[in-house]
Amino acid sequence: MISIDKALLRQLLLIERPWEVRDYRLDVRKRRCDVWIGQEPERGWFGRPKSAPAGELAVWQHLAIGPVRFHLHVTVPHGFESRGIGWMGDAGMPFTRALAARVFALFGEGVPLQSVCTLLDLSLQDVWRYRYALDTGRAGGSEPVARPAEPAQAPAATPTGPAPASTAVPDVTDPVWLRLLDGDLSLDIKVLSLKLMLTKLRSQLDLIHDEEVRLLKLKELHRYFVKNERVLTHELDQLRLG
């Protein structure tokens, strides 16, 4: 097995004291590294370690480093508040918060599940579990993750390509979308797929209270109208009237 300095591994994973890397297992052939993490034990007389606090073992997939996927096995003490720690995740979730933020951002751009798996080298089962947790209100939006400062870059040149084609679809920031999702605005809908989508999204919103996830649902509805604008002229005429 290839040897890695544990202190270096802790720094690469942005793990700060009192947490430490206790062990790891790197499988180069599978491009996978499992890392076991726990709190440093308190020291008693003559530097002897005291017994470690009781906790539960959680396993989360973390951000990859190069081609290697990292799976963190973390012993979390009972009652410990992990919110805001990017290399930890929520109970029952497959990803750390840092990795979940990447997945959530791709969902926000409308990237399909299978493409998310390909881009981030994730299993379809784990991505589906995370998406299902979002849809049922068991997971919130992504938390901001601290990133190293990047060097300043010159301003990008203004594109000189053709102007985007005009569209009858209101902007995603228009309040009409929230009114439509909340049921405050009723439409005479002729397209069956839109009826089914609205029914699904409204039932999901009954369970979702996180504002970022609600915004994700609003974007899904907006993208549907943009993609199917040609067959939704009847519905769009009503939307513009508000």
Give residue-wise pLDDT tens across range 227-236.
999 999 999 9
- When mean pLDDT is compared over 48-62, 105-119, 160-174, the highest value belongs to 105-119
- Cβ atoms 235, 192 nearer than 8 A: no
Q: pTM of the entire structure?
A: 0.82
Q: Please state, in angstroms and rounded to a whole number, the distance separating the CA atoms of residues 46 and 24.
A: 28
Q: Of the candidates 69, 136, 65, 127, which has an alpha carbon nearest to the alpha carbon of residue 93? A: 127
- Cβ atoms 216, 134 nearer than 8 A: yes
Q: Of the candidates 53, 109, 85, 91, which has an alpha carbon nearest to the alpha carbon of residue 222? A: 109
> Please, what is the average pLDDT of the chain?
86
pLDDT at 189 over 60: yes
Task: Give residues with Cβ within 8 angstroms of 48, minimum separation 6.
Answer: none
Confidence of residue 241 (pLDDT cuts 50, 70, 90): confident
Query: What's the pLDDT at 81?
Result: 85
Query: What's the pLDDT at 43?
Result: 61
Q: Please state, in angstroms and rounded to a whole number, the distance separating the CA atoms of residues 221 and 194.
A: 9
Query: What's the pLDDT at 240?
Result: 83
Query: What's the pLDDT at 13?
Result: 94
Domain ranges of the chain: 6-43+51-135, 176-241
Query: What's the pLDDT at 146?
Result: 47
Query: What's the pLDDT at 172?
Result: 92
pLDDT above 70 coverage of the chain, percent: 83
User: Which helix (H) or strand (E) covers residue 25, if one does?
Assistant: strand 19-27
Backbone angles phi, psi at 59, to 5 degrees: -125, 125
Q: Please state, in angstroms and rounded to a whole number, the distance separating the CA atoms of residues 212 and 125.
A: 23
Query: What's the pLDDT at 148?
Result: 40
Confidence of residue 161 (pLDDT cuts 50, 70, 90): very low
pLDDT at 202 over 70: yes
* Burial of residue 103, with CB atoms counted within 10 A of its CB: 0-12 exposed, 13-18 middle, 19 or more buried: buried
Length of the chain: 242
Torsion of CA 80, 83, 85, 87, to 10 degrees: 90
